[in-house]
Structure 1
Amino acid sequence: MNIRHRRAVTAAAAVGLLPLLAACSGDDAPAGTTSSSPTGDAPLSGTVTLVTHDSFALSDGLLESFEQETGLEVEQVAAGDAGTLVNQLVLTADSPLGDVVFGVDNTFASRAVEAGVFEPYTPADLDPSVTALVGEGLEGLTPIDQGDVCLNVDTAWFDAEGVEPPSTFEDLLDPAYRDLTVVANPATSSPGFAMLLATVAAFGEDGFEQYWTDLGANGLKVTEGWSDAYYVDFSGAGEGGQRPVVLSYATSPAFTVTEDGDATTTAALLGTCFRQVEFAGVLAGTDNPEGAKALVDFLASADVQADVPANMYMYPADATVELPAEWAQFAPQADEPFDVAPADVAAHRDEWIQQWTTAVIG
């Protein structure tokens, strides 16, 4: 079995050290290397610090080619899961961790916008499919990838046990699925918060808390982040996990394809999906604003968009980019994902997380 998924990147420092880091100034430019800025006003130079979640990854040589073409030097800082990333950005808004951030998604972005984390910037000539992903109140951020957060099942486990797998949120309340499900905490995980929002959309503001209470009573396990849920607890990841239902992505089954390529051993439950969009943005207070804009332009470029599926296992934001052939068979997106307006997310995030915590953690 060939299992790959959103992988962690070790970079610069652990989360606890992030507040000690600051964006580097243009005085650190490599000697003799300059390039034009996105606006053509001044040459590019110096160091640009890219702050990301742990799952940021590009093919070898791609980021290096950007550095060679521009004369910029890119330093990377990984800040944990997207929820942790946003928390760090908000806490350090007056002394930013870097110049550009990638990985703030539509479930957490409004919080960062309200905290003044970003300097609005939009690359020129984005495809309409990209700009269509920018929700109200998130203008000035640039969509880089998108994908559906959904429950996944280990179909091989269910086949071996002779049990019909669940297909809906409601199914998971059946005692037949007791102690089989693991999800990530919405207070610390963007996929976890995406599932919380999906249940708000599915059961309403007055009904989602009871759903989570009932799910908790049926043996739900909660982890702090997606990686632990998928790689430690999920039986379908090939790492010894014991739970055959996990919160993951609609693309995940494309990375559990059998060696002959004819089948996959997992499946996404497309009736449980929330569409996640991940953004890049220039951080307010950057010491290298032109370099930061150039890096955002690069992340939105055709080369990076084409690289997204194989390395970050999400759909590129640009719908014109050709996808891997197996995605059509094993990683389709939901026809009607659940949705909650960004304004509602901004207004009720803390309230809904507190209700979830009361229902599940106690």
Structure 2
Amino acid sequence: MHAWNRRRTLAVTLGLTGALALTACGADGPASSPTATGSAPADPVVVTLVSHDSFSLSEADTAALAEQGIEVEHVKIGDGGTLVNQLVLTKDAPLGDVVYGIDNTFASRAVDAGVFEPYTSPSLPEGAQGALIGDALTPVDQGDVCINVDDAWFAEQGLEAPTTLDQLADEDYRDLLVVTNPATSTPGLGFLLATIGAYGEDGYLAYWQSLVDNGLKVVDSWEDAYYTDFTQGEGTRPLVLSYGSSPAYTLADDGSSTTSAMLGTCFRQVEYAGILQGQDAGEAAQLVIEHLLSDEFQRALPENVYMYPVADVPLPEPFEQHAALAPDPITLDPATITANRDDWIQAWSDAVLG
């Protein structure tokens, strides 16, 4: 099992930093804010950070925030969809002060429900301005959901690998593709959205039917697809739905990657941080978001959550060489996703699963 599995195994929870029960914060009233100079006050301000299961604060993060007089308690709440659902259900008694890890497939639902206070970090890099959703969420990281290719398998077979969505339905690639269910899998949802972005609402189901006719396999989880069905694991299918960064973790002894991402199939995901409405941490909540945009935190993102930073910081060498972001990813407006997501998933389920 390569290191990538840590990012997407939703059932595996990395160590908590300051674990606590899921109870509403703020029972003790407003806390004092850290000093503007960053020196720690006598009593640190406690900030509860809520995130999805796949993120953990490092010791370096905890120490850097402590220097600003902030003690972070970290609560994890399932995957990105579960996180948003819980935040909406508890908006009148928030589970914390700051949230990190809501992505663009679910963000508008939380914004429209009034979950967040208005705040956008003044430290946000110019290149990330286009990812803003209103005035309540700050982009922190980004990544691509893409079809991955077992290049070694195709080389052994003497078969040219596909490079486009259309080619996946060609007879040459019959019974070679495995994807995940958008109703049960975050990458599955991302790929469904990619096909809607590429073929439109009038054409995406016909495209999926062409994949089904060509021997498509659908499984419930990324782990099943990658480790059971993909030829780089134990399976027989050399085309798998995964991430643009996955090839950075399939390295041969000479440092080359045995896989690649089909960059023309990629859907761009962006993860956000925001301040929860009704929180009591004051300025300290803003300082936590500023830390998430710091060079130190941004440099660690690829090896911590296997996503790409929004800041212009150096990437680990395997990312630089084998895991470039797609130059022209498929995107959809977050508000459009929120308005149609459930209907799209149901229509897909009826057409593909029957």
Matches within 5 A, 1:239-318: 240-261=234-255, 263-318=256-311
Aligned with 1:285: secondary structure?
coil
Structure 1 residue 69 corresponds to structure 2 residue 62: no
Q: Compared with structure 1, are the counterparts of its residues 296 and 324 closer, same or farther at alpha carbon in structure 2 (3 Å cutoff)?
A: same
Offset of residue 110 of structure 1 = 1.0
CA contact (8 A) 1:153 1:269 kept: yes
Structure 1 residue 142 corresponds to structure 2 residue 138: yes
> Could you tell me how far apart the structure 1 residues matched to 2:353 and 2:148 are?
23
> Could you tell me how far apart the structure 2 residues matched to 1:294 and 1:43 are?
18
Offset of residue 303 of structure 1 = 1.0
Q: Compared with structure 1, are the counterparts of its residues 349 and 138 closer, same or farther at alpha carbon in structure 2 (3 Å cutoff)?
A: farther
Q: Which residue of 1 aligns with 2:351?
A: 359
Q: Compared with structure 1, are the counterparts of its residues 50 and 226 closer, same or farther at alpha carbon in structure 2 (3 Å cutoff)?
A: farther
> Could you tell me how far apart the structure 1 residues matched to 2:344 and 2:204 are?
9
Matches within 5 A, 1:303-342: 303-318=296-311, 320-342=312-334
Structure 1 residue 52 corresponds to structure 2 residue 55: no
Q: Compared with structure 1, are the counterparts of its residues 287 and 326 closer, same or farther at alpha carbon in structure 2 (3 Å cutoff)?
A: same
After superposition, give the CA deviation of every residue in 1:163-200 in whole Å (9 maximum; x if it has no partner): 33222222222344344323233234332222112111
> Could you tell me how far apart the structure 2 residues matched to 1:192 and 1:327 are?
23
> Could you tell me how far apart the structure 2 residues matched to 1:227 and 1:51 are?
25
Q: Compared with structure 1, are the counterparts of its residues 94 and 224 closer, same or farther at alpha carbon in structure 2 (3 Å cutoff)?
A: farther
Matches within 5 A, 1:110-149: 110-134=108-132, 137-149=133-145
Offset of residue 203 of structure 1 = 1.0
> Could you tell me how far apart the structure 2 residues matched to 1:138 and 1:228 are?
36
> Could you tell me how far apart the structure 1 residues matched to 2:37 and 2:147 are?
41
Report how many aligned residue pairs link the two structures: 346
> Could you tell me how far apart the structure 2 residues matched to 1:12 and 1:332 are?
29
Q: Compared with structure 1, are the counterparts of its residues 333 and 111 closer, same or farther at alpha carbon in structure 2 (3 Å cutoff)?
A: same
CA contact (8 A) 1:26 1:287 kept: no
Q: Counterpart amino acid of 1:292?
A: A
> Could you tell me how far apart the structure 2 residues matched to 1:208 and 1:105 are?
22
Give the structure-2-normalised TM-score.
0.85
CA contact (8 A) 2:81 2:106 kept: yes
Q: Counterpart amino acid of 2:23?
A: A
Q: Percentage identity across aligned positions?
A: 52
Q: Which residue of 1 aligns with 2:13?
A: 10
> Could you tell me how far apart the structure 1 residues matched to 2:286 and 2:42 are?
12
> Could you tell me how far apart the structure 1 residues matched to 2:197 and 2:269 are?
14
Gapped regions of structure 2 (runs ≥ 5): none
Q: Counterpart amino acid of 1:345?
A: I
Give the structure-1-normalised TM-score.
0.83
Structure 1 residue 86 corresponds to structure 2 residue 89: no
